[in-house]
Amino acid sequence: MTLTQHQTDHQLVKAVTEEIRWTPSIRADQIGVSINDGAVTLSGQVDSYPERIAAVRAALRVRGVSAVADEIDVHHDWAPKQDADVAREAAAVLAHTFYAPDGAVKAEVSNHVITLTGTVTWNYERKGVERVIGALPGVRDVRNRIELKPKVTISAPDATEKISAALRRNAALDSSRIHVGVMGSTITLTGSVTSHAEGRQATHAAWGAPGVTHVRNELKVNDL
């Protein structure tokens, strides 16, 4: 590795560490940051699954980061000790959450890792269930296998027009560099963005189209 690249990696470590420290929901002193050619590895131990996700997203917000390897462990002494305790809490949440009808989603717990199965209509519902379940004490990881079954059939021309309009409205995006492709109920985004955060904004816009079951983000991250 050249001295210039080494200095670049050093600067990225500093920037990622500062972004993690800047995020109030993260105990930054528990997380280690290392970088090799723009790829970040996060390690250490946190108290909750949401804190782990927040750390990954913080790293992805930093310009110059090309990828993040999540090696953070979730462990907290105050959490329930048995999978049965976690399962009871998960069942109670699923029975009352507005993200999915009662009985639409099931949770299986193994070694404090929750696997979600079932069906919902929208991606925001699928992600909402994951968030509320992931916030339960004792959850180390969430494997979201909930399927989408929209109530409408997607129209390719209509979806392309509406998603493109949503991208143009978004102040955080340069829509001229993003192309929207529709195949069946799958949306494919190609082109380029200046950061992973910008790419997430584009993905979020694509999920807003009725009838979408998959969004493939093939956007390249190019620093300007």
In this predicted model, what pLDDT tens digit does every residue of 151-208 receive, in sequence order?
999 999 999 999 999 999 998 899 999 999 999 999 999 999 988 889 999 999 999 9
Q: Which domain holds residue 130?
A: 83-148
Do 169 and 106 belong together in one domain? no
pLDDT at 224: 56
- Select from 148, 172, 196 the last residue of a domain: 148
Backbone angles phi, psi at 120, to 5 degrees: -140, 175
| CATH number for position 92 | 3.30.1340.30
User: What's the pLDDT tens digit per position in 41-92?
Assistant: 999 999 899 999 999 999 998 888 888 999 999 987 666 678 999 999 999 9
- Select from 20, 49, 74 the last residue of a domain: 74
3-state helix, strand, coil in the chain (%, to 5): 40, 30, 30
Do 122 and 138 belong together in one domain? yes
β partners of residue 44: 31, 72
pTM of the model: 0.84
Question: Nearest to residue 208, comparing CAs of 178, 172, 163, 169?
Answer: 163
- The C-alpha atoms of residue 79 and residue 73 are separated, in whole angstroms, by 14
Domains contained in the chain, number? 3
pLDDT at 202: 96
| CATH number for position 62 | 3.30.1340
| CATH number for position 187 | 3.30.300.130
Instruction: Look at residue 143 and give its three-state secondary structure.
Output: strand
pLDDT at 1: 45
